[in-house]
Chains A and B, each alone.
Chain A
Amino acid sequence: MSTHRRHLDRRTAEQMLNGALVTSGDQLNDLLAHAAAPARDGELAGEHAAVMAFRAARLETALVPRQPSMLKALLAKLITAKIAAVAAALAVVAGGVVAAAATGYLPSPLGGDSTVAPVRSSAPTSSTRPSSADAGERDNHDAPGSSGSPSPSPSLTGLCDAYTAGAGSEHGKALDSPAFGALITAAGGKDKVDGYCATLLTHRPGQGGVTVTTAPPPGADEGHGHSGNGSPTSHPSPNTNHPTGPPTTHPSH
């Protein structure tokens, strides 16, 4: 079939394509081998976000049919939260302590037992805690701009604001901006963003459901030092909806 000395006939080509790279030193082989080389730095930068999405998906499955849209929002938020991930991890722990202290779950408020930290800050105790600003973490009634971040998250609300504010100009174009990626994901598609935002903005004050802690409640400082050592990897406990994982995150893009 071929008189060429490389003998790149069908059989040889097929072998190369199958990864049975023939002789080394062959340039085409080398090229293919390089294309399929092992992972390099930077290629796994999205690992944390992917794992968080996996966790969120499992939670969603576990909680069906409860508020799937909220979890979608959470999931989208996870992508955008890369930068704040470390802070968020801290906040979850700290917030957990505050919540636990407030609801009596924590035997020793100042972290005498550091292993107890990151638990029990969700549904069962969500009824009360009228106190002050630092309650943001579990306050479902979102005043935009409060430091706590109830779902579906101020960032999505903000994105919707931004998106809606651009009405009249080209929406389609706006949605191509990476900044709206999370919004599109949360909405389930570009064509659904309009409806999603309409719903979100209409319901802004009253969303209930899964709560997400992303920022340290201002008053939570006391908890930081000790509980920070608790193992965040003990998530998820059955009652815990915190999306935050091991603080080994990749803050870079």
Chain B
Amino acid sequence: MSVRPGDNGPGTPDDPSAALRAAQEDGDEDAFRVLYRAVQPNLLRYLRVLVGDDAEDVASEAWLHIARDLATFRGDLDGFRGWAATIARNRALDHLRQQRRRPVSSEQDEQLAEVPAREDTAESAVNAIGTDEALALIATLPRDQAEAVLLRVVMGLDAAGAARVLGKRAGAVRTAAHRGLRKLADLVDTDPEIRRSTGGVTQTRPPTLKEVR
């Protein structure tokens, strides 16, 4: 199913900001739908990097929470994104904690989500780099960097908003995000498969980005 802005009920705003107000003040279900469609894909991607294949379950739990407490939320759409991300993150961390407590069947180590093996060179060369691969690459970062990048780029939060979600200072989050970006730049620069599939510049250059600050 894709987002179809036109299929909401009459009078329901397509604009997520207006939808947020309508959902809160009037309990407008179609407005809530608009809100869900605006936020869920990004929330799910954030969760994917945190909890891998369990992202959908965790996202469902998060939306239950969001639906239940929306009436008590105060803020604008950016605030809502941050609030939703906070709820989802807390669920995800609970989830990870429980997994860790499970000694036998726990296959997930401290790493973030599993990354598809990029040794499948044939396949990855055929497939253009897509959302999944982008997320998989981000998931290779240390978690603080991955989260900082995702909250900024995918959830659309500013540094202060991301910092609130993470319970850190904005400066620390900014630094983590920058480090993450540089690592990603390294990855895409040094990985010929990715370079080819993005259709980007192909001149070879040594991975010198680590020197950058």
Contacts and interface: CB of A to CB of B under 8 A. Distances in A.
A46 B47 CA distance: 14
Contacts of B152: 17-18
B122 interface: no
Interface of A, secondary structure class, is helix
Contact of B134 (A25, A34, A178): A34
B44 to A, nearest CB: 5
B158 interface: yes
Given A14-B174, A27-B188, A250 B1 contact: yes
Interface in A86-112: none
B56 A185 contact: no
Interface size class for chain A?
35 or more
Contacts of B177: 13, 17
Contacts of B131: 34-35, 37, 40
Interface stretch (B27-35, B74-82, B113-121): B27-35
A245 B195 CA distance: 47
A53 interface: yes
Interface size class for chain B?
35 or more
Nearest to A30: B198
A53 to B, nearest CB: 4
A123 interface: no
Contact of A178 (B57, B200, B201): B57
A253 interface: yes
A28 B188 contact: yes
B208 interface: yes
A204 interface: no
Contacts of B56: 45-46, 253
Contacts of B66: 50
B158 to A, nearest CB: 7
A58 interface: yes
Interface in B62-119: 63-64, 66-71, 98-99, 101-102, 105
A10 B175 CA distance: 9
Given A26-B200, A39-B41, A44-B36, 5 more contacts: A2-B213, A4-B209, A4-B212, A9-B212, A27-B194
9 contacts: A4-B212, A8-B209, A27-B201, A28-B184, A34-B129, A34-B134, A50-B36, A53-B64, A181-B60
